Amino acid sequence: MILAFLLGFGLFADHIGRLVTPGQMQQADGIVVLTGGHSRIDVAVRLLKAGKGKRLLISGVNPIARADDLRIATGSEAELFDCCVDIDHAALDTIGNAEESAKWVQANAYDSIILVTNNYHMPRSLLEMRRLLPSATVHPYPVVNTPLDNAAWLAKPDALRVLATEYTKYVGALLREIVPIPRIAGLKQPNEITKATLK
């Protein structure tokens, strides 16, 4: 069991090390960014400004943070935030991010989104998002702040700690596949979501 866990961790870390920020990103209906990591929101706002999505959802924002705080921090115009940015204060973790994002996607009848989060957080975020939005296309946009290719994480204790923690959470998320997902008010469950409901 321990050997399998360690082998899985090695494969997971190698996968994270190979993730790169896309040079070009195809357009999607919407953009979702999960807060918690350095420069995530800045990247998502740039994608919005570039016309890669119609609207942007910033999920998991601290309840005391105002829209103006985020706008000023990203150097954005008030018009952009007023017209095209939605802020979620409800999500407290990655599962909550996925739940609130799924509600937002359904409410806007979107068929595709760009998901912005850090490279180490992307596998678990994709898993949770696709679990709740199996009929929507989710395009990953990993943000890479610290290069971890060529097993560079082995020589970086902080990176190793983050990867180990994230891998443990990822394994937990995989195990949740065999546990029924509790029903969330206002959110259609995966077997209830069809293309027709998203159009």
Q: What is the pLDDT of residues 166-190, one digit of tens each?
A: 999 999 999 887 765 564 555 654 4
The answer to whether the beta carbons of residues 103 and 152 sit under 8 Å apart is no
Tens-digit pLDDT profile for residues 23-34: 889 999 999 999
Amino acid of residue 71? R
In a domain, 7, yes or no: no
Tens-digit pLDDT profile for residues 73-113: 989 999 999 999 999 999 999 999 999 999 999 999 999 99
Instruction: Categorize the per-residue pLDDT at 151 as very low, low, confident or very high, splitting at 50, 70 and 90.
Output: confident
Query: CA 10: distance to chain centroid?
Result: 22
Q: What is the structure's pLDDT at 178?
A: 72
In a domain, 6, yes or no: no
In a domain, 5, yes or no: no
In a domain, 191, yes or no: yes
**Is the Cα dihedral 86, 88, 93, 96 positive or negative?**
negative
Structural domain count of the chain: 1
In a domain, 132, yes or no: yes
Q: What is the structure's pLDDT at 38?
A: 74
Write the CATH number for 111.
3.40.50.620
pLDDT at 155 over 80: no
Q: For the purposes of burial, counting CB atoms within 10 Å of the CB of 14, is it exposed (0-12), middle (13-18) or buried (19 or more)?
A: middle
In a domain, 80, yes or no: yes
In a domain, 11, yes or no: no
In a domain, 102, yes or no: yes
> Residue 144: which domain range?
27-198
